[in-house]
Structure formats: C-alpha cells, structure tokens
Chains A and B, each alone.
Chain A
Amino acid sequence: MPTTNRGAGGAANGVRVFVYGTLADQFVYRVITGERPRPTPAVLEGYRIVTSLESFPYVVPHRGSQVEGMLVAGISPKALAQIDQYEGEGKLYLRHKVEVRTAEGPKEALVYVAGPELLVAQPPTDVQVADRLAEFIKSRIEKELAAGIPAPSQLRDLEVLAREELLGEAVEDLVREHFDHPGLPALAVKHRLEESGFPSLKWLAKERDAVKYAPHYLRLIVKTIIFNQLEERVRRDFRGAVRVTDKYYERAVSALAALQYVADNLGTIGEVMESLGVAAYDAALEYVDYAVAAMFIADELYGRDRLAPYVERIKERRACGGAPLGYEAEFSPLGRDIVGAGPDEDPKFDGFYYFDDFDLGGRLWKLGGHVDNHRFVTPHRGRVRGFLEFAVGRYKILGDLSKPVTANPFVLSDSANAAVVFAEIKPHSLHLSLQLEAGRPPGAPPAPQHLICLLILGGDLNPDEEGVLRERRLHGREIYNEFTGLDFSRYNEHRARPDDDHPAQVIEYEFPRLFYEHSYADLVIALKGFQFATNPPPLDLSPDSPHLTYNREIERELLAWAEAPYGLAREDIDIFVARVEEGLAYETRNLDGHPPAFCREWLDKIERKLKSYNAFIRGEGKEWLIGL
C-alpha cells in the first residue's frame, strides 16, 4: 500500500520519482527543474492512469491495473520542491511514496497521484501543459519580485502585482528564455529584474519642459496598464477561446478583446482617473502610484461576463485565410509634419520625445509600441521625435522579433481599428504585411491601374485644403523617399527568434491611410487576392531595380492620378476583380484559405466600392463611398 510520506523517495543521492504524465516529457522536466533527467522504464502496479481531453493525466489506485512510466533518480531537494510547485502538490496532485517495478527489481519512489482539485473541481478544460509551465515560471519570478519588498506589509500583494506589471516585458522575456533554455538560475532571474529597473517620475523635477506633456503621457500609461491587466485576465479566463497556433502572435486575440473593451470604456477611464487624482501630473505621486491606480481601475472594469461578448464576437467573426498577416499603425497629432519637427510643435507629446523617459516601451510592449521617425526606432535609442507606432506581433523592438498577427482579415482590421480608438492620437498611416510563400518566385510588376484600385480601397481619397479631390498619401508625398521615390511597398523579413535562420519573407504595403473607426477588411482581402494571383514584386525604385524603367512609369502614373483622380475603365476594374478572385482561389486551394462563398461575398463588396468611386468621379455618385 502507498503511504503519504512526502519526504522520501528512497535513493541515496536524492530521491526517485515515478513520472507518467506531463513530467515524463523531458523538456517539461527540464523547464521545471533545470536538470537533465536520465529516466529508466518502470511500472507502477495497483494503479490506473486516467487520461481524458478534459484534464491532465493522473493515477488512482486500482487493483489489478498497472501504469507504465519512467523512473527519475537522484532528484535534489531543490528540484523536488520545484516539481511540487509545478504539480500543485497538496491541491492538484498529492505526492505519495510507492514501490515500482524496474529492470533492477523493485524500488521505492515518489509518485504524484490525483489531488482534490483534480478529482473534484477539475481544472479548466482548455489548460495546456505550456500554460502550466508558463504559470510555474511566472510564480518563480513573482517570488523573486516579492523578495525585494520589506515584509510584512499590507501593500505586499499589491506591490508584487505592480512590480510585475512594471517589469512586464522583462518577465515575458524570462518566460520565453526559460522555454528556450530550461533551468534559468534564480540568480539570473534576479539580475535581469534588477537590471530592468522600475520606472520613476523623479526626473520630471529636473526637466520642467517635459511637465506640460506629462498629463498626456500619464493618460497613455494608465490606460495601457489597464489594457495589460485586462489582457492578462482575458488570457486566463478565456484560455481556449483566445489561443492561437504557435505560428501567430500568442496575444493577438486576447489583446484585441482587451483593446476593444478599453476603447469602449475610455470615457469611464477618464472620469475615474480624474476622480483618483491621476489625470494630471502630481509631484507627490510616483510612477508606481499611477500604476496602482490603473490596476484599481482595471479591477473595477473587469468582469468575465463583461469581456465575454468581446471574445465571443471575435470568435463569431472567424474567417481564417491561409496567409499570415500583420500591421503597423502610426499616430501623431501633427500627421506627416512630425518628420523633422522641432521642440514643442506637437502640443501633446512633443513628438514622443520623452517616450523612453516615461518608459512607454515597457508599458506598450504587448502592442509593439515604439517611436518611428522614419530613420530609426526607439525605445532605448535616445530621444527622438516621430510617430508613435504600434506593431502588434512585434514582441521585441530591439532585435526586431515578430510573429504575424493573424490569418483572419477581421481580426487584423478590428485590431487596427481598436488601436486607433485606444490611442486617442490622430491616426496617420497603416502598413499591411502579408507573408509570402517560401520559394515562390516573384511575378511580373503590376499594372498601374491595379495599384490605383488598391489606392481607391485603402488610400486617402478626400478633398485637400482647397476642396479638390486628391489621393492625399501620394499627393502629399507622405510615402515618398527623396532618394528613391515612392514607398508604395517593399519586401521585409520577420524573425520569430534571434537564431531563426529561415525568417519569413513578407511584402509590406505602406500606402493605406489609418482612419478613425474604419473597416479594413475589404482592403486586406483585395491585397491578398492581388498578391497571390501573380505574386508581383514591390514597387522597387532603387537604382538596381530590375524593373526600374517600368516602375518609374508606374510612379509617374500614380502621382498623376493622385493629383487629379480620374475614373477607371470598366475593364480595368473587371480585370482587377478577376485578378483578386484568382488570387483568393489560389489561397483557398493551396493555403487552406477562405471558402469560395466568403470570397464571392467580398469580391462583390470590392467591386461595388470601385464602381461607387467611378460613379462619384463621373458625377453620378451622391457622395464618395456613401451607401456601401
């Protein structure tokens, strides 16, 4: 009979543990203990293993049955403590002493049997081993964070949470590293956390010029912390519903739900900030106080039932194609004038000059937040003025690591849209990226009329200051490089890991305008079809471009059209739509893309939009884009 002696396992050097479930996976074992196990086969008699889709495997006593597993010997007390923590010893599992059969005869060992939580409550059905590992690693980091707080304190729990929030990016990095290199020593964890340091507002006392911008930065900080907190809870409470495959940014769906919820509650958030006295800069308050206020607000706002409709809506709008997609969204109160702007020209953020000082990179990491002045990006590159850019899926700005956001055009569109409402900063541009098929050679350069169709769908066709209709992205030379010319599209490489030898090849379209409360689904679908049809290369205007002469012609045509948009010939629209149809069919066929009915529906929408533009140009449309 087994005993409940939890302190022994019967080996001279360390104890033995009989492993049969997730612990039998050597990788999992290494992540937990940092040790390389040398397991040998063993059999546990008198027990039966229970496995189901609804739970982790566990063993229960069962006369006449046996469980085949592995015996790991020489486990140190420290490693055993880590395993206890991982297994939720006393709750999820109970550690029992048993005798197992091995090739060398019977041996005493410890085994984790089903505990009360597993038997009675049953853990959520959608918890995976990776989730348990991540939680295990996080709990170790939390222990390190708590170690620096003078104990006991009534604020201890709150401070640990605030520290975890303020070091969120470092904590995430440590979890990632632990997966990649199991066994990260406690000292290294401690060192990394110390190195990251906690942000402070003390510097504002010396930089009086920055004080007038502080309320805008603080509002962004507080609402971003609220977003971060809600996103974490969405991941915890809707684990299965927001899970994405490893190929995509793991927070894409949870971040979208949280972002939409925060965007829908900005009025409330503003009022609460006023009420708590954190809407303005107060020299008596520190950064951590603003963080705690944000956490209080997040607590007040969060409710599983309140977030459920957001998660549900994302699930309902499931329309996964086969092409991984990504985006970058740029914001600036000054619009394009931010490039080259001097001090004080941007009355709210001074061109995000104090981005690093306010540690915005440390807050906005889930959204890939950084400053882009179209030369280089910050955080950690010093003070520069530029656009605030969200690059969701780009989880390391330094080192440029990223994953695509989604294969669902609605998730992409809704994410960009929610980011605009959330940011509360004048939206400027949207860069859409599309992962290319590995090894597929580029086709011929596109016809200018097809690029004009794309500009109609996603550019900025609106009257200029004199009331004359223009395509303002091109006409205003917003995407124009003085050395090479029009920046319509370009190739790029995206790495998911630093040692990734096979980065994903993407094409980035830089022409779309970012609007307030807008849908980009038609544009995304048209872009996919257009790209997959013939795989056209970017509009390369560099001197060594193989299509330079032709591309220069395209450039001239596009700029002329942007200055005085003209109607498209019926056959140009027909050919473009047919091309998109062809590309979507290619995606459906080869990349498990959208079903044909979905493609048909969106092709109709795209065609109607292009025709509505033509009607408007001919003076037949009542108002551009009305009635779609």
Chain B
Amino acid sequence: MRPPPLTSLLFGAEERVVNEVTKRLRESASDHYRQMETIDLRPRIQANFDAYREAVLAEDATPFSAYVADVGRKRLQQGYGLEELLLVLDTIFDVVWEAAGTAWETRGAQAFDDLKRLAEGISWGKDRLTTVYEEEARKERAALRRLSAAFDEYLRLRKGSPDEGGGN
C-alpha cells in the first residue's frame, strides 16, 4: 500500500527541504544564521523539521511545542531575536509548500486539506514560540530592573566614597 501523500511528501522531500531551508537561512538577513556553516546549521534545521513533521503527521502539537519552547528559551539567551526564530519556521513552511505545490498540482481538494494541516503545524510552532519567548523575555526584564537598582545603589555609594576612581 502506498503511504498517504502527506507522509510521502514529508519523507520524500526531506533532504531537499532541509538543504533548501539551510541555504535560504544562510542567505537571509539573520546575522546568526548567515554566520553559520552549512555543516553546522543543517543539523538544527533537520531537528526542527523532524519535530514539525511528527506534529503534522500525528496531528498532535505536543512534541513540536515542547521542541520550539526549548529552542526558544535557549536562543533568547544566546541573543537571537524572535524574528530570526520565526523566520526559520516560515522558511520551513515556504519550502514545504513549494515542494507540495510541485508534487500535488493534480490532486485538488485533498491537497488543499493537506496544505491546511501543514499550515496548522507551523502555526502551532509559531504561537508556542512567541508565547515562550515573550514570557522568558518578561522574566529577564524583571531581573534587569532588580539588577539596575542594585548597580545604581553601588554607583551612588562609590561616588560618595573617599576612594573614587580606582585607576593608577
């Protein structure tokens, strides 16, 4: 029995999608992705695509949500902007869509349903990523305010201390 078209697409076009997404990100406006070598960026895209594919085929957002949440937290700390991270998901969707467009031009209504599932999968990821990223960023801002207050207090005390300066 032949596998359903969506499964067939997501497995059959895997290498093409992962390579193309890697290439586009390396040529994108993202400083972080532009700097990375193919050999280093590709495994990341592969992992992202694997999680996305699993979510789409199982129609279950859970593993993909967990994956993007984990990556979102890590990349925030590393200094990636939310836009850069959303760009990865958008690019995956673009490339998968293009691959689907070529493979499915004769399939009509079923193709439309499959594309909808692909879009839903990306939406789950983007929604979760945005929520987690913004939540973490909010926590960071609270810590920043605390630190700023402590440092201001230090500067106030030091400027009043007899040993101001410190240089020789």
Residue B167 at the chain A interface, CB threshold 8 Å: yes
Instruction: Enumerate chain A residues within 8 angstroms of B19, measured Cβ to Cβ.
Output: 622-623, 626
Q: Nearest-CB distance from A226 to chain B (Å)?
A: 13
Known A300-B143, A517-B41; 4 more pairs at CB < 8 Å: A198-B168, A200-B166, A272-B144, A275-B147
Q: Nearest-CB distance from B23 to chain A (Å)?
A: 8
A-B contact pairs, 23 of them (CB 8 A): A198-B167, A200-B165, A200-B167, A202-B167, A263-B78, A264-B74, A264-B77, A265-B78, A267-B78, A267-B80, A271-B140, A272-B143, A276-B151, A286-B165, A287-B166, A287-B167, A288-B166, A296-B150, A300-B147, A517-B36, A517-B40, A622-B15, A624-B38
B150 and chain A: residue at smallest CB distance: A296
Interface majority SS (helix, strand, loop, mixed), chain B: helix
Inter-chain contact total with CB atoms closer than 8 Å: 109
Residue B138 at the chain A interface, CB threshold 8 Å: no
Q: Nearest-CB distance from A15 to chain B (Å)?
A: 39
Q: Nearest-CB distance from A370 to chain B (Å)?
A: 22
Per a CB cutoff under 8 Å, which of B76, B144, B147, B154 touches A155?
Answer: B154
B157 touches A197 (CB 8 A): no
Interface majority SS (helix, strand, loop, mixed), chain A: loop
Q: Nearest-CB distance from B139 to chain A (Å)?
A: 10
A518 with B166, Cβ < 8 A, contacts A264-B78, A267-B76, A267-B78 known: no
A518 with B167, Cβ < 8 A, contacts A268-B77, A622-B19 known: no
Instruction: Enumerate chain B residues within 8 angstroms of A628, measured Cβ to Cβ.
Output: 39
Q: Nearest-CB distance from B27 to chain A (Å)?
A: 13
Residue B35 at the chain A interface, CB threshold 8 Å: yes
Docked pose: A363 CA to B158 CA in angstroms: 22
Instruction: Enumerate chain B residues within 8 angstroms of A297, measured Cβ to Cβ.
Output: 147
Flag B26-61 by CB within 8 Å of A: 1 or 0 each: 000000000111111110000000000000000000
Per a CB cutoff under 8 Å, which of B40, B78, B162 touches A266?
Answer: B78
Residue A270 at the chain B interface, CB threshold 8 Å: yes
A265 and chain B: residue at smallest CB distance: B77
Residue B163 at the chain A interface, CB threshold 8 Å: yes
Instruction: Enumerate chain A residues within 8 angstroms of B102, measured Cβ to Cβ.
Output: none
Docked pose: A266 CA to B77 CA in angstroms: 6
Instruction: Enumerate chain B residues within 8 angstroms of A154, measured Cβ to Cβ.
Output: 157
- Tell me which of A202, A267, A622 has the highest count of chain B C-beta atoms within 10 A of its own C-beta: A267
B158 and chain A: residue at smallest CB distance: A155
Q: Nearest-CB distance from B30 to chain A (Å)?
A: 13
A203 and chain B: residue at smallest CB distance: B167
Contact residues, A582-628 vs B (CB, 8 A): 622-628
Per a CB cutoff under 8 Å, which of B38, B143, B163, B165 touches A623?
Answer: B38
A270 with B161, Cβ < 8 A, contacts A276-B147, A622-B19, A626-B42 known: no
- Tell me which of A201, A275, A625 has the highest count of chain B C-beta atoms within 10 A of its own C-beta: A275
Contact residues, B131-158 vs A (CB, 8 A): 140, 143-145, 147-148, 150-151, 154-155, 157-158
B166 touches A198 (CB 8 A): yes
A199 touches B40 (CB 8 A): no
Residue B4 at the chain A interface, CB threshold 8 Å: no
Q: Nearest-CB distance from A195 to chain B (Å)?
A: 11
Instruction: Enumerate chain A residues within 8 angstroms of B144, measured Cβ to Cβ.
Output: 271-272, 275
Docked pose: A622 CA to B80 CA in angstroms: 29
B39 touches A289 (CB 8 A): no
**Considering the complex of A and B, which 9 residue pairs feature the smallest CB-CB distances, nearest first?**
A200-B167, A267-B79, A288-B166, A517-B40, A275-B144, A625-B39, A197-B168, A265-B77, A516-B35
Docked pose: A583 CA to B154 CA in angstroms: 58
Docked pose: A307 CA to B64 CA in angstroms: 26
A275 with B148, Cβ < 8 A, contacts A270-B79, A516-B36 known: yes
A201 touches B167 (CB 8 A): yes
Docked pose: A251 CA to B80 CA in angstroms: 29
Instruction: Enumerate chain B residues within 8 angstroms of A287, measured Cβ to Cβ.
Output: 166-167
